[in-house]
């Protein structure tokens, strides 16, 4: 069923991995989807093509969401193109894994800018638009690492934990305008980001997952679609899609 027919969506970092899966899922439900990317133009265009084959509209927009003007410009471009911004999925994220001893200022800054500041920039640009519409569905992709912490990921864990805190606060402010704000905290999910983890470490990690396998991007995408489509009375929550690795 095309339950998002007539709705417009932005997916940051929609060119691959979890973002790509979410863009396709929303497109398959009939939404018009703006696929944001930073460097991967061809990949983003391929996602747009797949969505168009599903008979939904798609736009590809280059922007580094860690930069305030570009992130806000992304939101405003979608409003100009389609007249509304109904759904905002803050998915773009990076890692710069190092132990604290080796972590440099630039590793800290880039991760915080991309994973956390971006969420403030896009939400602050979308808020007035959604407020006027009296409708908005915002989903921020956090991580179980933001809940549990992780060796070698102080910067990443800090950014993802803060995304959850931001989500709960924004939900309290925006609820009165029928804008819901939720977070999804995926566990280890098979994407290019996760491929960077060395094989022997992946084997060790597997032993810690009750469901005894890594997650699929499509499983996170289904959760995002649930919050958007059926989550009218759900706000300020974190939905864990993690195979039980953190409870």
CA distance 233 to 238: 14
Give the residue numbers annotated as catalytic, written as ranges.
156
Q: Is 17 in the site for ligand NDP (CB under 6 A)?
A: yes
Q: Which of 8, 28, 84, 91 binds ligand NDP (CB under 6 A)?
A: 91
Size of the site for ligand NDP (CB under 6 A): 29
Alpha carbon distance 115, 113 (integer Å): 6
- By the rule CB under 6 A, 106 interacts with ligand NDP: no
Shortest spacing between CB 82 and ligand NDP, in angstroms = 20
DSSP bridge pairs for 184? 141, 239
Q: If binding is defined by CB under 6 A, does position 65 make contact with ligand NDP?
A: yes
The residue within the footprint of ligand NDP, chosen from 57, 64, 107, 218 (CB under 6 A), is: 64
Shortest distance (Å) from residue 233 CB to ligand NDP: 25
Using the rule CB under 6 A, is 18 a contact of ligand NDP?
yes
CB 182 within 8 A of CB 235: yes
The span from the CA of 13 to the CA of 20, in Å, is 8
* 231 near ligand NDP, rule: CB under 6 A: no
Nearest to 82 by CA among 174, 181, 13, 10: 10
If binding is defined by CB under 6 A, does position 38 make contact with ligand NDP? yes
Nearer to ligand NDP among residue 161 and residue 186 (C-beta): 186
Paired residues of 140 in beta bridges: 90, 183
Residue 206 · residue 163 · CB < 8 Å: no
Which residue in the set 84, 191, 235, 240 belongs to the binding site for ligand NDP (CB under 6 A)? 191
- The Cα 20–Cα 43 span in angstroms is 9
Q: What number of CA atoms fall less than 13 Å from residue 151's CA on the CB side?
A: 3
Given the complex with ligand NDP, which of 135 and 193 has the nearer CB atom?
A: 193
Binding site for ligand NDP (CB under 6 A): 12-13, 15-19, 36-40, 64-66, 91-94, 114, 141, 143, 186, 188-189, 191-194
């Amino acid at each position: 069923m095309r339950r998002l027919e007539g709705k417009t969506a932005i997916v940051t970092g929609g060119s691959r991995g979890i973002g790509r899966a979410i863009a396709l899922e929303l497109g398959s439900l009939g939404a018009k989807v703006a696929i944001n990317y930073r460097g991967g133009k061809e990949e983003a265009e391929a996602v747009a093509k797949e969505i168009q084959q599903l008979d939904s509209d798609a736009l590809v927009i280059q922007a580094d969401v860690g930069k305030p003007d570009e992130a806000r410009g992304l939101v405003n471009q979608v409003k100009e193109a389609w007249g509304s911004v109904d759904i905002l999925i803050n998915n773009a994220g990076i890692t710069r894994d190092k132990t604290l001893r080796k972590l440099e200022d630039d590793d800290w800054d880039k991760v915080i800018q991309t994973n956390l500041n971006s969420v403030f920039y896009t939400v602050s640009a979308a808020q007035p638009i959604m407020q006027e519409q009296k409708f908005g569905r915002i989903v921020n992709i956090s991580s179980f690492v933001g809940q549990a912490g992780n060796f070698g990921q102080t910067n990443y864990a800090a950014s993802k934990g803060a995304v959850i805190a931001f989500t709960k606060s924004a939900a309290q402010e925006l609820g009165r305008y029928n804008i819901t704000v939720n977070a999804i905290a995926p566990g280890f999910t098979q994407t290019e980001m996760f491929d960077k983890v060395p094989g022997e470490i992946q084997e060790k990690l597997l032993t810690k997952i009750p469901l005894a396998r890594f997650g699929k991007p499509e499983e996170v995408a289904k959760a995002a679609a649930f919050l958007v489509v059926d989550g009218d009375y759900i706000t300020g929550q974190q939905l864990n899609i993690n195979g039980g690795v953190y409870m």
